[in-house]
Amino acid sequence: MSRLLPLAAAALSVGLVACGERTEPPAAAGDGRLLVVATISPVTNLVANVAGGLAIVRGVVPEGVNAHTFEPAPSTVKLLAEADVIFLNGLSLDEPMKQLAEANHKAGAHLIELGEATIAEPDYLYDASSPEARDNPNPHLWTNPRYAKRYAELAMLTLAAQDPPNAQAYRRNYERLAAQLDALDQALATASASLPKEARKLLTYHDSFPYFARDHGWLIVGAIQPADFSEPTPRELARLIDQVKQERVRAIFGSEVFPSPVLEQLARETGADYVDDLRDDDLPGEPGDAEHSLLALLQFDYATIVDALGGDATALRELDTTNPTSDDAEYAR
């Protein structure tokens, strides 16, 4: 299996074509299109928007399922063995899928680890769920719109290299998606600025937002979930209670997928508001819906956070976060 390293955009001489144009599928297996496999739903959605129906895109990790521990079905092994390109988040998030892909790929298939191709090791962040002692950097790059844009760029460069006749269409689709991610990033900056610096503090169930926080001037107070995905000990909880009181955190944030009684207790003990519906890889709506997108997921999360902390999320709520092209990917259920 060949590994595609980060590519400079200029390495592929691809231009733009008029919006709505569609070229013929490449001469490949199956119905003639490339077969592209992606792991978690945010990656699947980004790849599908770049593909725009010109490649078959299949997601293999069900939404809301822990990618660290997901055990694929035998049908997934067959799919990986037939894939032309396999996109993983990388940074140890989807390690079981990586190992399966490496053991079952076909000759000439490409395995792309997006995280490692997006940031260099000096820029890795570590935390309670992703400790440096285990050489386990935080993998949640897609919650930062700037890194999500890089993921999309890598998808575009990869698909264009594997399918040159459709390179211009992939580039066009990427540009449309990139424009929406840029608008999301700008709206996020505007919404963040509506809060005083001392209010931009996050305590969440899972460490999903550190790269966003670093780029937009937020402080991560902590996260409830330890590295082994257990509940925190009484001593750890007592320390968090003291920290929340000391930092004067106005709201703490739980997960829609993984409800935590510990967060509820923490809110009661500190007087902070408890918001329990954030998500990091469970896209809104259902596959096929226009709002079933990473853009809509990030809009929801950050508008929810800004509102709960007393800021103005208008700039976020006014965004168009529907899929810029047709996302016809098949998502695992």
pTM: 0.89
Nearest-angstrom CA–CA distance, 202 and 64: 21
Q: Which residues contact 143 (CB under 8 A, 6 or more apart)?
A: 208, 209, 211, 212, 280, 298, 301
Pairing of strands 201-204, 219-223: parallel
276 three-state secondary structure: strand
CATH of domain 196-317: 3.40.50.1980
- Local structure of residue 253 (DSSP, 8 states): E
Pairing of strands 85-88, 55-59: unpaired
Q: Classify residue 64 as exposed, middle or buried by CB count within 10 Å of its CB (0-12, 13-18, 19+).
A: middle
Q: What is the pLDDT of residue 23?
A: 39
Q: Where are the alpha helices (DSSP H) in 27-71?
A: 41-51
Same fold, 2-13+21-183 and 196-317: yes
Tens of pLDDT, residue by residue, the chain (333 residues): 434 333 333 333 332 222 333 334 444 446 889 999 999 999 999 999 999 999 999 999 999 887 877 888 888 999 999 999 999 999 999 998 999 999 999 999 999 999 999 999 999 998 766 666 667 899 999 999 999 999 999 999 999 999 999 999 999 999 999 999 999 999 999 999 999 999 999 998 888 999 999 999 999 988 776 555 667 778 888 888 998 999 999 999 988 777 778 888 899 999 999 999 999 899 999 999 999 999 999 999 999 999 999 999 999 999 999 999 989 999 998
Q: What is the pLDDT of residue 325?
A: 93
CATH of domain 2-13+21-183: 3.40.50.1980
Domain boundaries along the sequence of the chain: 2-13+21-183, 196-317
Q: What angle do helix axes 41-51 and 167-193 make, rounded to 10 degrees?
A: 130
Nearest-angstrom CA–CA distance, 103 and 97: 10
Long-range own/partner contacts, residues 262-265 (CB < 8 A, 24 or more apart): 262/224, 262/231, 262/232, 262/237, 263/205, 263/224, 265/237
Q: What is the pLDDT of residue 228?
A: 59
